[in-house]
Amino acid sequence: MKQLKRNAAVFFAGLMLSAAPIAVSHAADKPTLAFVVNGASDFWKAAEAGVKKAQSEMPDYQMELKYPEQASVAVQQRLMEDLVSAGVKGVMVSAVDPKTQTDGLNKIGSQTALFTTDSDAPQTNRVAYIGSSNIDAGMQAAEIAKKAMPDGGKCIGFVGLLGADNAKERIQGMKDGLKGTKIELTDVRGDDIDQTRAKKNVEDALVASPDVTCMVGFYSYNTPRIYEALRDAGKLGQITVVGFDDDPITLGGVKEGTIAATVVQQPFEWAYQGMKLMAAYLKGDKSGVPSNGLIIIPTVIIGKDDVDKYAASLKAMAGK
């Protein structure tokens, strides 16, 4: 519990910072660092705040957070190439589909310092990954399901990018964590970070699989769309919901008991620590890069009894 409080405090410290848009103009006398996300989602607002805090501490750099126009490999690659052409010295990216982006990412890594976050691309020339252990996060999701469903059941998962490593690893972690139980993750449906499609996936699953007893939202917006679809179908509270991240709808559902619990990541820390790591690396200080190239920021489970602690921490920090 002490670890939970510590990690929760760190996470909320990030969320308390303003998530104002990051300036995109390149100052000629300042090296520019860019944090490139995989698609439009409120999940990345905390990362914006992390970039802003790092910028305030390192005024000699220009720092940007960039959203691709859509969650596609081609669009994200073009964005990164444009950044490199504009003289960006370091790029930290949540790759849309690392398995098919190897050549493109290596091209970026040959021209600038390349780091990954959220969804790793370990087969590329990236310097390091900073983010969650998605396997561990998936296993935490399994722990939530096992506690909520002691008699077993059938789960269907929902995720943005089925090809992304973060999705694959969370799914695998959950399956590993469910081994030996009567709970089975039978299907996972992708939506390409289209929230309208995300909700429709849930609605379709309710029709196609009337025997489903559990739904898992593997991306930050999936759990709210599950919540809304179940509410509209009059099945909220009848199907176990396992969440990821801390969307207000998700936390509200956890508080009221309609969502069993949620696995919370710390994108603020990814961005804040990541930008500082890139800046140090560019100055020749490689001491912050571990030999295995992995910097893991822990995930935590937030259950019904923890939501008020989160709220209290947020209120206390706001008063400082």
Same domain, 166 and 285: no
Beta-ladder partners of 124? none
Tell whether 185 and 232 lie within a shared domain.
yes
Per-residue confidence (pLDDT) for residue 226, from 0 to 100: 98
How many other β-carbons are positioned within 10 Å of the β-carbon of residue 157?
28
Q: Tokens for 93, please give them.
A: 């990216």
- The DSSP 8-state label assigned to residue 118 in this structure reads S
| Cα(40)–Cα(165) distance, integer angstroms | 18
Buried b (16+ CB within 10 A) or exposed e, 200-209: ebbeebbeee
- CA 53 to chain centroid, in Å, comes to 19
pLDDT of the chain, 320 residues: tens digit per residue:
434 444 444 444 444 433 333 444 444 579 999 999 998 888 898 899 899 999 999 999 999 999 999 989 999 999 999 999 999 999 999 999 888 999 999 999 999 999 999 989 999 999 999 999 999 999 999 999 999 999 999 999 999 999 888 899 999 999 999 999 999 999 999 999 999 999 999 999 999 999 999 999 999 999 999 999 999 999 999 999 999 998 989 999 999 999 999 999 989 899 999 999 999 999 999 999 999 999 999 999 999 999 988 766 645 433 33
Co-location of 15 and 95 in the same domain: yes
In a domain, 311, yes or no: no
State the amino acid at position 26 in one-letter form.
H
Contacts of 278 (CB under 8 A, 6+ apart): 33, 90, 92, 113, 115
Assigned domain for 308 exists: no
State the pLDDT at residue 268: 87
Residue 318 lies in a domain: no
In which region does residue 87 sit, left (phi positive, over 0), alpha (psi from -120 to 50) or beta (all else)?
left
Is residue 30 located within the same domain as residue 177? no
- Which domain does 139 fall in, by range? 134-264
Decide if 315 is inside a domain.
no
292-295: Cβ within 8 A, 24+ apart: 293/122, 293/126, 293/127, 293/128, 293/129, 294/120, 294/128, 294/129, 295/128, 295/129, 295/130, 295/131
Tell me, yes or no, whether 16 and 104 share the same domain. Answer: yes
Give residue 313's pLDDT: 60
Q: Is residue 11 part of a domain?
A: yes
Domain CATH for 234: 3.40.50.2300
Pair 35, 101 in one domain: yes
Structural contact between residues 128 and 293, judged by C-beta atoms closer than 8 angstroms: yes
Distance separating alpha carbons of residues 20 and 11, to the nearest angstrom: 18
Number of domains in the chain: 2
Amino acid symbol at 314: L
- The DSSP code sequence of 161-217 is -TTSHHHHHHHHHHHHHHTTSSEEEEEEEE-TT-HHHHHHHHHHHHHH-TT--EEEE
Non-local CB neighbours of 135 within 8 Å, separated by 6+ positions: 169, 170, 172, 173, 176
Same domain, 38 and 107: yes
Residues 153, 11 share a domain: no
Q: What is the pLDDT of residue 318?
A: 33
Q: Which residue has the tokens 């571990």?
A: 290
Domain match, 169 and 52 both: no
User: Using an 8 Å Cβ cutoff, are 137 and 170 in contact?
Assistant: yes
